[in-house]
Amino acid sequence: MKHTILIFAMLCCTSYVMAQSKNFEEKAAIIASRIDSITTAEKSTLKKELKKLDKKVEKNEMTSEAAEVEKKRLASYHAKRINKAVFIEEQKLQALIKDKVSGQQEVEKEDIPIFTSLSKENYYQDSISGIKIEKRFTTQFVIAFGMHTALNDDGGYYGDGFKVNPLGFGEVGFTFKYRLEETTNLWNLKFGFSIYSDEIKPEHDNAILVINNDETTLQDAGFKIDKSRFTNMYVSLPVHLELDFSKPQYHGKTEQSYLRSQRGFRMGLGGYLGVRIYTQQFMKFDDENGLRTTLNQQDRFNMNNISFGPSAYVGYRDLSLYAKYSVSPTFKNNPQDINTLSIGLRLDLN
C-alpha cells in the first residue's frame, strides 16, 4: 500500500511538471506567433496603402512629391504600431519566462473538449487589437427537445388515435454555418447532421400497434396497460437559410467594429432528410400473476425508412422556438396516412 501511494504521488508530480512545461511552451509559441502576425499584418497594410498612392500619381490625382511625403508618413506610422505592439508581446514573454524560472506559472484548467474545440475553431484573435473575431465558416452544437404528436388520425382507422406527447421529441447534432456575405451577419447557410428521436403515444394506454400483414393498426391489447409508447430514431441531414439580425459589435479601446453572430434575433427556414435506424414499442403492465412487467418490441412495424419535411426556428441569441413536420407518411401501406409534428426549444451553442 505504501509503495502504491508513493508511485501515485510521483505520477502526480510528473504530470504537474509536464503540464507546466506544456503550458509554458504553448504560451510562448502563441506570443511568438502574434509577434510574427503583427509584423506581417502591418507590412501588408502598408503595402496596400502605398499601391493606392502610386495609382493616384498615375491618375494625376496627386503629385509624386506629395506621394513621397505621404509614403514616409505612412511608413513611420506603421513602424510605430509594430514597435508598440511587439513591445507589449515582449513584455508578456519576459513575464512568462520570469514566472517559469520562479515556479509561479499556473496550469490552466481544461474545459470540456467539445466546447473548447468549437470556440477555437469559430474564432481567431486579431493580431493588433487582440479582439476575438468570428470566422466566416463556423460550427454549432445543437440540442433540441419538445412535444411530438401524430396528425391526420381522425378517420377512424387508428381508433381513438394518438395524444400529444409533451416530451416526445429530442435532437442532438452539429451544424456548419457559412456567412454568405463577408460584411454582414444577415444571410447564413446552415447545414449539418443530427440524431433525433420521436415518440407517439396512443390516446388510450391499453392500445398498442399491431402488424396485420402489410398494414400497421392500433388495437386494444385485451388487458390493462399502464404505459404504452412507440419510439423511432433517425439520422438526419438538416439544411436551413438563417437570417441573423445581430448588430456589429464595437470595441471602444481600439475603435474597431467587428461581426459577432447570435447576439440578436434569428430565424431559419429549411428542411431535413432523415433515415430511420431504430424502432421500438414499449409497454408496462401487470401480468396475470400481478408481477410488474415491461415489454420492448423491436421491429420495422411497416415503417417508412425515410422521413423528410420542412423545419423552421425563430428566437433570440442561442435559444429559439423550433418546429419540424414530417411530409412522408409514418407507415408504408396503411389506407390512411398519418404525419407527425414536433414543436420545442432549440439551443445552438456557438
d(CA 92, CA 119): 23
Pairing of strands 256-258, 292-298: unpaired
Q: What is the mean pLDDT of the chain?
A: 82
What Cα–Cα distance (Å) separates residue 161 from each residue in 139, 155, 282, 301, 338?
Answer: 40, 9, 17, 17, 10
How large a percentage of the chain has pLDDT more than 90?
A: 33
Per-residue pLDDT, 16 = 46
More confident residue, 235 or 161: 235
326 burial via Cβ count (<10 Å: 0-12, 13-18, 19+): buried
Global pTM exceeds 0.85: no
**What percentage of the chain has pLDDT greater than the value 70?**
84
345 forms beta bridges with: 145, 321
Residue-wise pLDDT tens digits, 44-79: 788 888 888 888 888 888 888 888 888 888 888 888
For 266-319, how does the pLDDT look when each residue is reduced to its tens digit (9 = 90+)? 999 999 999 999 999 988 888 777 788 888 888 889 999 999 999 999 999 999
Q: Which residues of 85-104 are buried (b: 16+ CB within 10 A; e: fewer)?
A: bbeebeebbeebeeebeeee
Strand partners, 159: none
